């Protein structure tokens, strides 16, 4: 019997008996395991989504941060040579090189970019409550859809591995552990993959460039006995029923920036600046319509500038195909908008906004996720829920109940940090509103979802 048929049959048996997130979580609480807590980062740190975006030199939106030319980095030299040889780069190429160039891209450089000493802080790093709510959601939805074992958990860009660690703790409390599941990380950074491995497995293994077992570059086993695999791309991950998770991943996928002019759509490009500009690079506009401007601007577009992430679209379509063919579901969490914002491309360094063209390879580059665009890629085949705000999702998943339990078990000084962490995650002026959650389910479960919509995406209490 095919995976999807098996999955639909299991669904039939279990649809009446699933646990609500809160029931599941309370069940976990009765096992008295993992009621520890930590507030991972100093709460004075900055999330990447904070300030409004920077624009380009030529729009005049970007403040002139310096009058002396900024430092030359190894990546800058490569980019200058490339531009001199073949002309200005698209922002897409610039962003891609700046982030994942294997020798000198930001994610290849080997520094720890998260937390107080890094460049920014992410929700899983702020408090374990975040990952626990996601863990409860995964358990709940997987259980509803038939709880096929082993559960293949796929995470894109796992950072320090903190989110997965919290998810695994919740799943263990709910009885899903060891070989009941397998973990598949899609991660380009060798250093971060090592951090993830040390965190989950307690030690690290050498790279496996080729293996008969599959196309992973590294394999290990968690301290709880669950196999973990690392890949550079989703195409190498086994095609099975999977739960896909992406937190602050789509925002680092490169974007094209396209601008409406009186002569039609043009593309923002990066050129060398040999004049007296503050950086060694500057923005210019393409003289003619580039392939991206031809391909990616919708005829009904009303904005004067758009940022388009073709890699985000392709990834969403790939996930959708897997969900349709093999069964599964996905949770995409990121800061973003519903297709209305522009001018969100920006850089972060040392918890401050940084000019994106300054010292390439040394700062994180990001653009807000266009959730409307992502949804458009998949809505013919899949059922989508959201995007809802982080605050809405976490509140509906029972974060307040979790906070109350943690407060009960903590010392007064820890209580203060817990409350600050809770506020930072849920307050609409902090991370509560700008961060959004989007869920993807296979079309085959449409009627079932009408009856049992996914936890976290609907309000099941009165305000």
- Interface with ligand SAH by CB under 6 A: which residues? 99-100, 107, 122, 124-125, 157-159, 163, 186-189, 192, 247-249, 252
Looking at beta carbons only, is 125 or 132 nearer to ligand SAH? 125
Least Å distance, CB 298 to ligand SAH, is 25
The Cα 13–Cα 436 span in angstroms is 32
Least Å distance, CB 186 to ligand SAH, is 5
Ranked by CB distance to ligand SAH, the top (closest) residue is: 157
Looking at beta carbons only, is 315 or 449 nearer to ligand SAH? 315
Residues whose CB falls within 8 Å of the CB of residue 130, separated by 6 or more in sequence, listed in order: 123, 124, 163, 166, 394, 425
Looking at beta carbons only, is 133 or 284 nearer to ligand SAH? 133
Question: Taking a C-beta distance cutoff of 8 angstroms, is the pair 57, 172 a contact?
Answer: no
Question: Taking a C-beta distance cutoff of 8 angstroms, is the pair 198, 169 a contact?
Answer: no
Interstrand relation of 181-186 and 151-156 (parallel, antiparallel or unpaired):
parallel
Looking at beta carbons only, is 286 or 391 nearer to ligand SAH? 391
In degrees, rounded to 5, the angle at the alpha carbon of residue 265 between the alpha carbons of residues 259 and 269 is 55
- HEC string of 346-366 equals EEEECCEEECCCCCCCCCEEE
Least Å distance, CB 125 to ligand SAH, is 6
Looking at beta carbons only, is 24 or 246 nearer to ligand SAH? 246
The Cα 83–Cα 390 span in angstroms is 40
Least Å distance, CB 15 to ligand SAH, is 31
CA dihedral (150, 154, 159, 160) in degrees, to 10, reads 0
Least Å distance, CB 400 to ligand SAH, is 22
Looking at beta carbons only, is 157 or 356 nearer to ligand SAH? 157
Question: CB 421: neighbour CB atoms within 10 A?
Answer: 24
Looking at beta carbons only, is 335 or 457 nearer to ligand SAH? 335
Interstrand relation of 369-370 and 328-337 (parallel, antiparallel or unpaired):
parallel
Q: Where are the alpha helices (DSSP H) in 145-244?
A: 162-173, 190-201
Least Å distance, CB 448 to ligand SAH, is 30
The SS3 call for residue 331 is strand
Least Å distance, CB 98 to ligand SAH, is 11
């Amino acid at each position: 019997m095919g995976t999807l048929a098996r999955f639909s049959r299991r669904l039939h048996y279990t649809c009446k008996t699933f646990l609500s997130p809160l029931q599941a979580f309370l069940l976990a609480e009765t096992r008295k395991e993992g009621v520890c807590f930590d507030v991972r980062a100093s709460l004075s740190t900055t999330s990447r989504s904070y300030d409004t975006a920077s624009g380009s030199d030529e729009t005049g939106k970007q403040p002139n941060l310096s009058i002396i030319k900024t430092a030359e980095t190894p990546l800058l030299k490569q980019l200058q040579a490339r531009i001199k040889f073949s002309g200005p780069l698209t922002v897409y190429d610039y962003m891609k090189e700046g982030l994942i160039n294997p020798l000198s891209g930001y994610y290849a450089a080997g520094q720890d970019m998260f937390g107080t000493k890094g460049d920014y802080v992410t929700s899983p790093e702020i408090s374990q409550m975040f990952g626990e709510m996601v863990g409860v959601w995964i358990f709940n939805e997987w259980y509803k859809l038939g709880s096929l074992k082993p559960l293949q958990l796929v995470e894109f860009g796992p950072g320090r591995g903190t989110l997965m660690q919290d998810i695994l703790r919740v799943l263990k409390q709910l009885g899903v552990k060891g070989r009941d599941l397998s973990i598949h990380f899609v991660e380009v950074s060798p250093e971060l993959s090592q951090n993830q491995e040390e965190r989950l497995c307690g030690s690290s293994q050498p790279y496996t460039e080729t293996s008969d077992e599959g196309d992973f570059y590294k394999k290990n086993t968690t301290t709880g006995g669950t196999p973990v695999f690392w890949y550079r791309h989703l195409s190498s991950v086994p095609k099975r029923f999977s739960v896909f998770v992406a937190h602050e991943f789509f925002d680092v996928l490169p974007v094209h920036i396209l601008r409406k002019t009186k002569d039609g759509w043009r593309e923002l490009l990066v050129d060398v600046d040999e004049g007296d500009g503050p950086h060694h690079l500057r923005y210019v506009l393409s003289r003619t319509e580039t392939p991206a401007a031809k391909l990616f601007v919708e005829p009904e577009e009303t904005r004067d500038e758009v940022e388009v992430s073709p890699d985000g679209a392709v990834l969403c379509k790939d996930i959708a195909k897997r969900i349709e063919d093999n069964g599964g579901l996905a949770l995409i969490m990121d800061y973003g908008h519903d297709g209305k914002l522009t001018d969100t491309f920006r850089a972060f360094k040392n918890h401050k906004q940084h000019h994106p063209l300054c010292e390439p390879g040394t700062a994180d580059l990001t653009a807000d996720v266009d959730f409307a665009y992502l949804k458009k890629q998949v809505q013919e085949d899949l059922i989508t829920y959201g995007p809802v705000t982080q605050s809405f999702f976490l509140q509906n998943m029972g974060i307040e109940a979790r906070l109350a339990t943690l407060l009960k078990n903590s010392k007064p000084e820890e209580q203060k940090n817990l409350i600050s962490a809770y506020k930072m995650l849920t307050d609409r002026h902090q991370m509560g509103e700008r961060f959004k959650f989007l869920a993807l389910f296979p079309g085959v479960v449409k009627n079932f979802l009408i009856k049992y919509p996914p936890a976290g995406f609907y309000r099941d209490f009165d305000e």
